[in-house]
Structure 1
Amino acid sequence: MKKDQLLTRRRALLAGAAAAGAAGTAGVLAAGRGHGPARPAAPAAGAQAQSPLKPSAYRLQPLTGYGTPGTGPRRPAVRSEPILRMSGRGRTMMLTFDDGPDPHYTPEILDTLAEYDVHATFFVCGEMAGYYKDLLSRMADEGHVVGNHTWSHPLLTKLSRSRVRAEMESTCEIVEKTYGEPPRWFRAPYGAWNRAVFQLGAELGMEPLAWTVDSLDWTTPGTATIVDRVEDGAAPGVVVLSHDAGGDRSQTVRALRTYLPQLLDSGYHLTVPRRQQV
């Protein structure tokens, strides 16, 4: 029952924030940064109130203690705007999915990706990942990248620095325990970034990744519309944003089944982010 309440609350939050999220997206795509959307709608009636997260003491110096100096991965530099595109040559682009994992839609997306031997990036919410750890394990087994999308999908620009840290740390912790390694990529909910978000993400060893093509699938515009948006936006280096949770994602699932083989037939290579690409 608790899982059902969580899904209902998450779906209501994402639906209520739809218009605000669109405004935040436009700002991010135009300038690589933005002030973020308006405050999301309240959770659905009857949903249990979430107690404040406590900092998990998760690796505030996450990239130290790896043996002899210089042998461990480097902490990313603090950026002033998120990464919007991939670097590299050729017809290469990236598919990303936010807000999951979801027990209904994420497995169908993974099945389609496996059918075409394509890897994608999933920006997961720790709150969801805690319930569906098996899906993170499957992502690891099948070669997908798992990124950090906070614990409860809040509007980070309205939170205190300590709360932002707790949202990030808690998700880093569950991803590392379940996926097998800490997340190296972070995406702010609603595309709302500020200096604290960039700083804390870098402290935790994560690069901020946004997007260049928004499918707007959370508005449920119809499968054909989602397909058209992805195909019209396809170009070398683009990062496509879709969602595998937060509402009815059946259109997203059907759209992927249509545009993925068409992109491959057009000569595109679908890949995942790597540090040397940015």
Structure 2
Amino acid sequence: MQKDQLLTRRRMLLAGAAVLGAAGAAGAVLAGGDEGTAPPTAAPGPQARRAPKSSAFRLQPLTGDGPPRAAPRGLKVRTEPILRISGRGRHMMLTFDDGPSPEYTPHILDTLAKYDVRAMFFLCGECVVQNRELVARMAEEGHVVGNHTWTHPLLTSLKRGEIRDEMVSTSDAIEDTYGERPQWFRAPYGAWNRAAFQLGAAMGMEPMAWTLDTTDWTTPGTSTIVDRVESGAAPGVVVLSHDAGGDRSQTVRAIREWLPHLLDSGYHLTVPRRRV
């Protein structure tokens, strides 16, 4: 798909989705365009956390009348997720999990737009099909969308076929809305296993983790989230926040404080290059 055609499709999706509404990661990653490589760095503290009750939203096959989907270009299978971005200078990357949410995601997008910052959003398929207009907005505003499974399960408790269904269904939903298949995958709770790495690589997705967890998922208070980001800021850091999956009002308020602070401190917020 040519660039101008893709942009036209995104704009059409953005306009049409508003009508449809709810009906409808081992080593370092290159980001920006002027960066080299860096050795892997371990993320501080445990990444996995207790899984909530499984979603009542069942996996549903996605059908359409369009042409058959092109097979993704397979990637080298990693044994650990990417934890940070590489390169010289004060570069960081912002990531948001579990959305999109009609209650919180628009406010986060508004703040990012205010400061002309791009971020990565790891989306759950069941949220994608209920909020297509927000996914189209992400595309229109230059953000990078990743796959975060359909129902946010603990992958280490699933069979290989179940993991594949979660990943494929989500990639299909994102492509139907965003115009492209995702090139990045993040395992829910940071719980990776061999099947997730193998399946993701076969689907053309790199595994992305994080360096800094804002702990916003524990709703610790806006000031705690702000302090966590500002004290943990450093070149190469990948910040984890959430725009769904619970009360994210603290996250919305916190980013309004810590984002301008990072920019004033000389940090450049970037996203990975798109593979062609």
Task: Report the TM-score range of the alignment, normalised by the length of the smaller protein.
Answer: 0.7 to 0.9
Question: Whole-Å Cα distance in 2 between the matches of residues 140 and 222 of structure 1?
Answer: 30
| Post-superposition offset of 1:54 | 5.9
Q: How many residues align?
A: 230
Which residue does 1:273 correspond to in 2? Answer: 272
Paired AA for residue 72 in structure 2? P
Paired AA for residue 218 in structure 1? W
1:205-216 correspondence runs (5 A): 205-216=204-215
The Cα offsets for residues 180-227 of structure 1, whole Å up to 9 and x where unpaired, read as 111000000000001100000000000000000000001111111000
Would the aligned equivalents of 1:93 and 1:269 in 2 still touch at CA under 8 Å? yes
Question: Whole-Å Cα distance in 1 between the matches of residues 233 and 132 of structure 2?
Answer: 32
1:19-58 correspondence runs (5 A): 29=43, 36-38=48-50, 40-42=51-53, 49-51=56-58
Q: Aligned to 2:84, what secondary structure does the other structure show?
A: coil
Q: Aligned to 2:43, what secondary structure does the other structure show?
A: helix
Which residue does 2:228 correspond to in 1? Answer: 229
Superposed CA RMSD in Å reads: 2.2
Would the aligned equivalents of 1:212 and 1:238 in 2 still touch at CA under 8 Å? yes
Question: Whole-Å Cα distance in 1 between the matches of residues 116 and 61 of structure 2?
Answer: 39
| Post-superposition offset of 1:29 | 2.4
Question: Whole-Å Cα distance in 2 between the matches of residues 52 and 141 of structure 1?
Answer: 27
Q: Aligned to 1:95, what secondary structure does the other structure show?
A: strand
Quickly say closer, same or farther: Cα 1:60–1:251, change in 2 above 3 A: same
Q: Aligned to 1:102, what secondary structure does the other structure show?
A: coil
Which residue does 1:62 correspond to in 2? Answer: 72
1:98-117 correspondence runs (5 A): 98-117=97-116
Q: Please tell me whether residue 170 in structure 1 is matched to residue 169 in structure 2.
A: yes
Question: Whole-Å Cα distance in 1 between the matches of residues 59 and 260 of structure 2?
Answer: 43
Would the aligned equivalents of 1:59 and 1:204 in 2 still touch at CA under 8 Å? no
**Runs of at least 4 residues of structure 1 off by over 3 A?**
49-56, 58-61
Q: Please tell me whether residue 87 in structure 1 is matched to residue 86 in structure 2.
A: yes
Q: TM-score, normalised by structure 2?
A: 0.78
Which residue does 1:185 correspond to in 2? Answer: 184
Question: Whole-Å Cα distance in 1 between the matches of residues 226 and 272 of structure 2?
Answer: 23
Paired AA for residue 191 in structure 2? A
Q: Aligned to 1:230, what secondary structure does the other structure show?
A: helix
The Cα offsets for residues 21-58 of structure 1, whole Å up to 9 and x where unpaired, read as xxxxxxx7259x98x545x2435xxx8x44455698x9
Would the aligned equivalents of 2:84 and 2:210 in 1 still touch at CA under 8 Å? yes
Would the aligned equivalents of 2:44 and 2:212 in 1 still touch at CA under 8 Å? no
| Post-superposition offset of 1:164 | 0.3
Quickly say closer, same or farther: Cα 1:177–1:51, change in 2 above 3 A: closer
Unaligned runs of 5+ in 2: 1-41
The Cα offsets for residues 158-177 of structure 1, whole Å up to 9 and x where unpaired, read as 10100100000001001111
Which residue does 2:261 correspond to in 1? Answer: 262
| Post-superposition offset of 1:152 | 0.4
Question: Whole-Å Cα distance in 1 between the matches of residues 211 and 103 of structure 2?
Answer: 27
Q: TM-score, normalised by structure 1?
A: 0.78
Unaligned runs of 5+ in 1: 1-27, 64-74
